Structure formats: C-alpha cells, structure tokens
Amino acid sequence: MEKELTLRAVIIGAILAVIVTMYSAFAGLKIGGVYWPITTVSIMSLGILTILGNTNKNEINITQTIASAGGLLAAGIIFTVPALYLIGFEISLTDITLISLVGGITGVIFSVPLRKQMIEKEKLEYPDGKAAAAIILAGDEKGTKIKTLSAMFGIGIIFSFLRDFLQAVPSYWNIDLIKLQLNKLFSFGSSISLIPFSGGYLIGPKFTGIWFLGAVISYLIIIPFVVFTGLFSDKFTAGIELTKPLGIGIVIGSAIMYFLLKGIPALKNIFSDWKEVFKENQKMIGIVLIVLVGVLTIITEMNLLLSVIAISGAFVMAYVGGRVTGEMNVDPMELFAMIVLIAAKILFGFNAVLLVIIAAVVAISAGIAGDTLQDLKTGNILGTKPKNQFIGQLIGVVIGALVIGIVLMALQQTYGFGNADLPAPQAVALSEIIKADSLSGNLLMGILIGAVLALIVSFFGSAIIIVAFGIGMYVPIELSFPLFIGGLIRLAADKKKLTEQGRLIAAGLIAGEGFTGVVLSLMGLGKLI
C-alpha cells in the first residue's frame, strides 16, 4: 500500500506552506487577489519528492494539500485585517493568529460533508484541482516544469533584491497622462514590480480588461470632467472623492447581487448535506464548535453574540464558497465577508475591530473551504484517502496561522496599506464601509449601479466581473495598467498555445518577488525592534 501522510510530506508541505503564505500575502495586497496556489505547489511537491526518490502520487498530493492552505488563509487575512490599520486601529499578533485558526479550522470542518455531495454526487469541476491531478499523474520526467518554476522564482528573488535592498533598480515609474490644469499634470506612478504583470496574466484578459475599463472611466473620463467643468475648488481631489465611493458602491452592489444569484440558490441543500454528517459526528463537531466559539468570545472581549454570528456566517459562506469554486473556479471570499459585515453593522452596530473579526473569520472559512475542495478533487482523481487530506489541510492551516500575523505586521511596518506599494483594494473598501456613519449619495448610487450591472451581466456570463469594474474605479490606475498588460500577454499566449508555459513563468515570478518582499520586510521589522 502506498504511503500518503508521511513525515517528509508533512515537513516539505509545512516549509512550502510558509513560502506560499508569505508570497500570497505580499502579492494579494499588491494586486488585490490571490490566485489558486494548488498547481504551483503541485509542481514544487512533485519536483522535490521526485528528487528525494521513492515517492508516489498520493504522497505528492498530501504535500501539496498542506502547502496550498497557506495561500487562501493569507488571502482571508489580507482582504480584511488591513482595514483596521487604515482607520487607525491596531490588532495584536495573538489575535491575528487566533482569528486565522478559527476561520481556517471552520473552513476545513464545514467542508467535510461537501466532498460527498459536490465531488462524488454532483461531480463539480474544481478546475485547478483537476489540473493539479493532471500535473501529478503526468509527472515531470525531464524536470522541465520544476526547472522553469525554480528559475522564475530565482529571477523574482534577484529582481526584488536588486530593487529593494541594493537599490540598483528604480523603485518607481511615472507616466504623464493629460494636462488638467495650468502648470499641473495628471501623472501616475507605481513601484516597478513583476507582480502586477504576472498577476494579470494569471487572472486573464476578461477580468483585467473589465478592471482597466473601470480605471479608464474613472481616471480619464469622470475626473477630467470634474476638473474641466470647475465644479469644485480642489478639482483633482474632488474627482477622486467622487469616483472612490462610487467604485466601492459598485463592488458592494455587485457583491450583493452576486450572492442573491449564486449564494442563496446554493443554500437550499446546505442542511440536508450536513444532516447526515452531523448525525455521525455529533460529539466531535459539537466539541470543536464550542471551542471555536469560546476562542472567538475571548478575542471579541466576551461578546458571545458576535462569536455565534461569526461562526454561523463562516458555516454558510464556506458552503457557498465551496460550491461557487466548484462551478466557476472563483472563490469571492472577500465579497461574502463584506456581505456579512454589512449585515452585522446594520443589525447590531458593532465597533470596527469586532466587525473586522467577523469579516476575517468568514473570508478565511470561505477561502479554505474552496481550497479544501480543490484538493479533495485532486485526491478523488488520484485515490488519496480523504481523511489524510483533511489532516493535511489542518496542518497547513496551523502553519499559515502561525506565519500570517508576523508577515502582516512586517508589511505594515515597511510599506503600510492602501498606497501605491500595497493598494489592498478589498481592505480599503471594508474600511470605508466600517467608518461610514451613513451611506453617502455617491456610495448609494454605486450600489444601485453595481446591482443593476451585475444583474444584466448575469444573463451573459458571471456577475462577478462587475466587482472588477468597481475595483478599477477606486484603486490607483498604476495598479490597473500593468494588470491589463498582463491580461493582454495572456491573450497572446492563449492564441499561440503557450498558456501553461506562461503560467509557470508568472507563478514563479510572483512567488520569488513576493517571498523576497516579505523577507526584506521581516529584516526591517527586526531592526525596528
């Protein structure tokens, strides 16, 4: 019988989980998204274990299962917790770790019944899970894939080191767009980075194109109109203050409509799917949930109601996230978090810290559920024991939780959030929602526009692309432009049938630059201490 959950699988998986958590946090804050890491770590696991020898497909799968969890856990934190820093609050390293553990463990536990229903019965696609299985089954006899990935990882490291440490590469570039006022140019600049171009490639032309369209309308139509008409005294600032709430509103409106269209229909089977599993594991599930609620209650200053809301939201959104991932290969975890946060604020009016805790737990749970089911799809194809994969996923969650708080605090100290270096668009949107005493006219207009556009687009494709349009309206255009170029490169690669080679290059560059960025930040944090 093939060995699966081996000691070396755990050690290698844990090391890779640390790397994945680090680069996913940096890249996610940079481009506002974290691409599924499962195919990247499958190649890494395959290459390392093949070199070590005497391995098999299931040991490789367990290794990548452990490793990939770090990426989605990092995403749940970076999409939410930086909102606190943006509105002037602090959060402790201990609290970040505990929030990560609660969200991650709930995501794994709530995925247990979904495997039988969504993978075995409904046979949902989970495209990246299928891709990982294909990679592991095909192998890498000549080591081409691991060599390409490793080479790009090295180039990303060298590039980041030259730019940020040796300062041998300029840090910023600027483009003068248009004269808006006498003696004043509208110009934008950005940190010179490989991540946005690579991220745009991985995301693809459709999403990045819609994102860039939002930026064009905001920066090249609305803001110039505000300036030329002279409606405001501080013209350029007034333009930004108009497009920012409008864009955030579009994100909120499209998120709500997306949930109505995709989330609510998915809920119809949630209790029937869980009924059988709960009957078989009542004691274990009951104990774990009590412990998780207890931990959250301590974090939230003995607010039992908030803890129950957070766990309930995590339960519901893990189900929705798992299903949407299976159908569309997209897990809009931050949108689910946003919806739960808005509902909690309207109904209960919690303070900022407590609202972000809810959002973080929900986002992590939804993200980890999606990742778990991608991994289980791989295991279903390869014949890996589900129990071993659940254990592996929990190990990855623990590793990621121990790392992400340190990474986040280092990045905050070195770069800060919501700027050209780390735009953190989802956290910016959450911060605006949290600090608003009431919804402004521009925000309400954006919510209405976003909901209507999402409804219209849903008849032709996925309503989620309107989220990209809204983000493009309020994030700096210097992020949107390289993402768009990356999307165009992907379009050209698709036509020339070089898509997979390009994925390896893009994934390696992101991993190398992101990992190095965090390492250098940690070095800086150490000096500050």
pLDDT of residue 100: 94
Q: Residue 360 pLDDT > 80, yes or no?
A: yes
Q: Count, in order, helices (H) and strands (E) of the chain.
A: 24, 2
Unique residue bearing structure tokens 């390409």: 148
**CA distance to 111, 437, 470, per residue, from 77 (Å):** 19, 25, 21
What is the pLDDT confidence band of residue 352, given thresholds at 50, 70 and 90? confident
Q: Are the C-beta atoms of 4 and 62 separated by less than 8 Å?
A: yes
Range of lowest pLDDT (224-233, 336-345, 495-504): 224-233
Closest to 317 measured CA to CA, from 253, 267, 251: 267
What is the pLDDT confidence band of residue 104, given thresholds at 50, 70 and 90? very high
**Percent with pLDDT over 70 in the chain:** 86
Q: Residue 229 pLDDT > 60, yes or no?
A: yes
What is the pLDDT confidence band of residue 278, given thresholds at 50, 70 and 90? low
Q: Residue 237 pLDDT > 90, yes or no?
A: no
pTM: 0.86
pLDDT of residue 339: 83
**Residue pLDDT, tens place only, 296-341:** 787 767 577 788 888 888 888 888 888 888 877 777 788 888 888 8
Q: Are the C-beta atoms of 375 and 68 separated by less than 8 Å?
A: yes
What is the pLDDT confidence band of residue 399, given thresholds at 50, 70 and 90? very high
pLDDT of residue 183: 37
What is the pLDDT confidence band of residue 293, given thresholds at 50, 70 and 90? confident
Q: Are the C-beta atoms of 95 and 361 separated by less than 8 Å?
A: no
**Residue pLDDT, tens place only, 36-95:** 899 899 999 999 999 898 999 999 999 999 999 999 999 999 999 999 999 888 889 999
Range of lowest pLDDT (96-105, 209-218, 255-264, 482-491): 255-264
**β-strand partners of 173:** 190
Tokens of 511: 């991993």
Q: Are the C-beta atoms of 97 and 90 separated by less than 8 Å?
A: no
Unique residue bearing structure tokens 């090295």: 154
Q: Residue 246 pLDDT > 80, yes or no?
A: yes
pLDDT of residue 381: 94
What is the pLDDT confidence band of residue 276, given thresholds at 50, 70 and 90? low
CA-based radius of gyration for the chain: 22
pLDDT of residue 354: 85
Average pLDDT over residues 431-445: 77
Q: Are the C-beta atoms of 464 and 258 separated by less than 8 Å?
A: yes
Average pLDDT over residues 280-303: 72
CA 395 – CA 67 distance, rounded (Å): 9
Range of lowest pLDDT (168-177, 399-408, 440-449, 516-525): 168-177
Average pLDDT over residues 399-424: 91
Q: Residue 188 pLDDT > 60, yes or no?
A: no
What is the crossing angle of helices 127-138 and 352-382, to 10°? 40
Q: Where are the domains of the chain?
A: 7-195+267-466+497-528
The overall average pLDDT reported for the chain is 83
Q: Are the C-beta atoms of 466 and 454 separated by less than 8 Å?
A: yes
Q: Residue 170 pLDDT > 70, yes or no?
A: no
- Judged by DSSP in three states, 175 sits in strand
What is the pLDDT confidence band of residue 239, given thresholds at 50, 70 and 90? low
